[in-house]
Amino acid sequence: MSAIFQDDDDDSVKLYSEDPAWADVVPIPQYQGVDALAPINYTEEYQDATNYFRGIVKTGEMSPRVLQLTEHIIRMNPAHYSAWQYRYRTLLALQSPLEDELRLMDRFAIDYLKTYQVWHHRRLLLVALHSVDAAAAELRFIVRALQDDAKNYHTWSYRQWLLAHFNDEARLWAGERAWTEELLEQDVRNNSAWHHRFFVVWGSGVRKGDEDREEVRKRELGFAKDKIALAPNNPSAWNYLRGVLDHTKTPYSTLSTFVQLYTASSAPAADVFDLDNPPPSAGAELPSVNALEFLADIHEQEGQTEQAVQVCVYVVLRYTFTKHFVAQIWKSLANEHDTMRKKYWEFRIREAMQSR
Amino acid sequence: MDSSRVAVIFYSLGTLDLLGAFESKTTAAERESWRKWLWEQQTHGIYGTGFKPGPYMTPEGQSSESSEYDAPHLIMTYTALLSLAILRDDFSQLDRAGILAFLRACQNDDGSFSALPRGGESDLRTAYCAFVISSLLDDWSGMNVDSAITYIRSCISYEGGFGQAPFGEALGGTTYCALAALCLTPSTPSSPRESRLTPAERTRTIRWLSQNQTPSGGFRGRTNKAADACYCFWCGAALNILGAGDLVDRNALATFMSQCQFKFGGIAKAPSERADPYHTYLSLAALALLPPSDADSSWDLPKLDPLWNASEATASWARAHIPAH
Ligand SMILES: [Zn+2]
């Protein structure tokens, strides 16, 4: 977008007003009206191109040169939604090969990753194409785009929209779950990857091979537990675990044994090894506040208000301790313990007391 | 900026409003010319009446009739109405029936709203704008409320927050949009207000929101991301709407904000970033809603209406002047 504001020293700027190929179009300047609020200083290049664009819109011309013009404007201002809109309708009117447009968009998307319109345009193209091959190519493109920006919201939304749009195309969905595993191996705290896994496994119907829901539940709980063992204070993994339990209406108490490995102040003896209950990795920061919260929730679900309150009081005391004594000595520890949520725990105590 | 000018103007005017600087920093003539400019963005066409982002697609010699490619925009209509309320306009030029028709043209079959009558983005942000516009007009005939609520509820994620659209990852800004919208709508026979969030959902949402206040004192917008000044408003105001504003550590929040202050004025998204109108306004709005307990009077900001995201004085002006009488 910054191109609009730059003074372009480049003499090679081509103006439509000087191009004989555009001589038949009557340019229309922008309406000026009352003194503009927050006036914008356009470059000559942008002003010239948009004058010709308004001229084109007025006559309704839809031709190959309109594609050139709208591309030029979008490159200067990727948020120019009228240029996108007009471009899309021109593509349809000309019956242009939409796959070629998608390849052009691949280059755009990398430069304008944060612009909504780039992704919206792709959606329109995919709807118009309705081609599973094109959708498969899109999935590959998204993988590349996420390599540069692993948590870009637009990119992820587009992938989820695309898969949901082609919900019955098994081949598009086949690699999704394995791919989230790959991403979480690179970064176990990538919440977008966790969210995507939930969407794939639970949010969009039953996938091939996943018909046995009891198996799926076990597998997903096991997956989350293994990741918690790697990083016991990772809220993404705990949120996923809770999500699976809530979704399958499984009582939290079924995970008591597992959780107690993480609420203790130190890791259990190394010779205890239970596949269903992987212990915290060596050197993990314990107890995990996420585990303590989970334990309080178990007690609450089981109607054990006293115990729930005890856990909450314990956390508040730890927070107070951490804040007043440890914070000055070793700041990073205070950060690890997330003292910011002391008020949340006090709230939990109040709520639990009330329900008694 | 060209295609979102009215929104930028709203954040700038909102900042002056919250700082109480209108009388001292602007002249009556300036305020008059701004009102005039905003009214010039009101445009009528086959899809009803609304505001466009600016005159960037308006041909010379033409202003109030909209063409297909110079159509009103839902987000701009919301920000223009509030901007005019901040400027204490009398709204005598408002085409109320036209705006209701425009809302109807933007609503899709699934209950969602598109930013433009024939397309554009449709997500919880645009839904929120449609809800605020209806409540500003105090007239809900511009939308199918039940299907709009169904759409909003379809965006809830397992984490407790709402994604930007169905299937999306929980995000602070759109969680605010969803909760404010659900709260703004009057009860209908098939959707009493209390039924819109189950107790379990409410608990989960509060948990997720409060989990987002990071050790820096600022809020993040998504699990495991870094804090950002704008999410101090989105998450803080969302907690406030749920009646849980006291879960925010306000002093820590204020400390984070002060670190986001930019040395040349304004507030940035994070410490040592560059300030912009959007983060400046939302930071002030967060402080107005959740002021620190240990503040001196320099922190004094007017009270904020958490659902419309405007000062209470501006909100009561809007209530007195925008609905049809
Ligand atoms: Zn931000």
Average pLDDT along chain A, 356 residues, taken 10 residues at a time: 41 85 94 65 91 94 97 92 94 96 88 84 95 97 92 95 96 96 97 98 92 97 97 96 98 96 81 83 87 92 87 77 44 48 83 76
Nearest CB partner across the interface for A37, out of B9, B159, B169: B9
Q: What is residue B162's three-state secondary structure? A: strand
Give pLDDT tens digits for A144-162. 999 989 999 999 999 999 9
- A6 and B CB contact within 8 Å: no
- A43 and B CB contact within 8 Å: no
Q: Given a cut of 50, is residue B53 above it in pLDDT?
A: yes
Q: What is residue B267's three-state secondary structure? A: strand
Which pTM does this prediction carry? 0.93
For A344, name the nearest residue in chain B, comparing CA atoms only: B247
Nearest CB partner across the interface for A341, out of B2, B167, B211: B211
pLDDT at residue A265, as a whole number: 82
DSSP secondary structure letters along B205-240: HHHHHHHTB-TTSSBPSSTTSPP-HHHHHHHHHHHH
Chain B residue numbers with beta carbons less than 8 Å from the beta carbon of A149 are: none
CA of B278 to the centre of ligand 1 (A): 8
Cα A283 from Cα A293, distance rounded (Å): 21
Cα B260 from Cα B265, distance rounded (Å): 10
Q: Which residues pair with B107 in a beta bridge?
A: B113
Cα A300 from Cα A318, distance rounded (Å): 20
B228 contacts B238 by C-beta, under 8 angstroms: no
pLDDT at residue A22, as a whole number: 96
Cα B80 from Cα A37, distance rounded (Å): 12
Contact flag A4-B2 (C-beta cutoff 8 Å):
yes
- A191 and B CB contact within 8 Å: yes
- CA nearest B133: which of B195, B207, B50, B213? B50
Q: Which residues pair with B305 in a beta bridge?
A: B310
Interface of A with B in 211-230 (CB under 8 A): none
**Domain segments of chain B as ranges:** 107-200, 212-294
Strands B48-51 and B304-305: unpaired
**CB-neighbour burial class of residue B161 (10 A; exposed 0-12, middle 13-18, buried 19+):** buried
Contact flag B3-A77 (C-beta cutoff 8 Å):
yes
Number of residues assigned to chain A: 356
pLDDT at residue A319, as a whole number: 67
Q: What is residue B27's three-state secondary structure? A: coil
Can the peptide bond before residue B166 be classed as cis, meaning omega within 30 degrees of 0?
no
Selected residue with higher pLDDT from A33 and B179:
B179
Contact flag B5-A242 (C-beta cutoff 8 Å):
no
pLDDT at residue A318, as a whole number: 73
Contact flag A335-B37 (C-beta cutoff 8 Å):
no
pLDDT at residue B2, as a whole number: 66
Nearest CB partner across the interface for A151, out of B200, B225, B244: B225
Q: Which residue type occupies A172?
A: L
Give pLDDT tens digits for B229-277. 999 999 999 999 999 999 999 999 999 999 999 877 899 999 989 999 9
Residues less than 5 Å from ion ligand 1, measured at CB: B 228, 230, 269
Nearest CB partner across the interface for A246, out of B1, B59, B158: B158
B55 contacts A30 by C-beta, under 8 angstroms: yes
- CA nearest B163: which of B196, B127, B199, B135? B127
- A235 and B CB contact within 8 Å: yes
**CB-neighbour burial class of residue A186 (10 A; exposed 0-12, middle 13-18, buried 19+):** exposed
CB neighbours (10 Å) of residue A328?
9
Phi/psi region, residue A135 (left: phi>0; alpha: psi -120 to 50; beta: rest), is alpha
- CA nearest B168: which of A262, A153, A231, A175? A153
Q: Can you tell me the ipTM of this complex? A: 0.95
- Residue B313: pLDDT band (50, 70, 90) is very high
Cα B231 from Cα B239, distance rounded (Å): 12
CB neighbours (10 Å) of residue A97?
11
What's CA A238's distance to the chain center, in Å?
A: 18
- Residue B1: pLDDT band (50, 70, 90) is low
Give pLDDT tens digits for B82-116. 999 999 999 999 999 999 999 999 999 999 999 99
Q: Which helix (H) or strand (E) holds A11?
A: none
B187 contacts B169 by C-beta, under 8 angstroms: no
For B251, name the nearest residue in chain A, comparing CA atoms only: A340
DSSP secondary structure letters along B175-198: HHHHHHHHHHSPPBTTB-GGGGS-
pLDDT at residue A11, as a whole number: 54
Chain A residue numbers with beta carbons less than 8 Å from the beta carbon of B59 are: 28-31, 54, 58
- Residue B147: pLDDT band (50, 70, 90) is very high
Cα B222 from Cα B215, distance rounded (Å): 15
**CB-neighbour burial class of residue A212 (10 A; exposed 0-12, middle 13-18, buried 19+):** exposed
Nearest CB partner across the interface for B60, out of A31, A77, A85: A31
Average pLDDT, chain B: 92
Selected residue with higher pLDDT from B222 and A315:
B222
CA of B193 to the centre of ligand 1 (A): 30
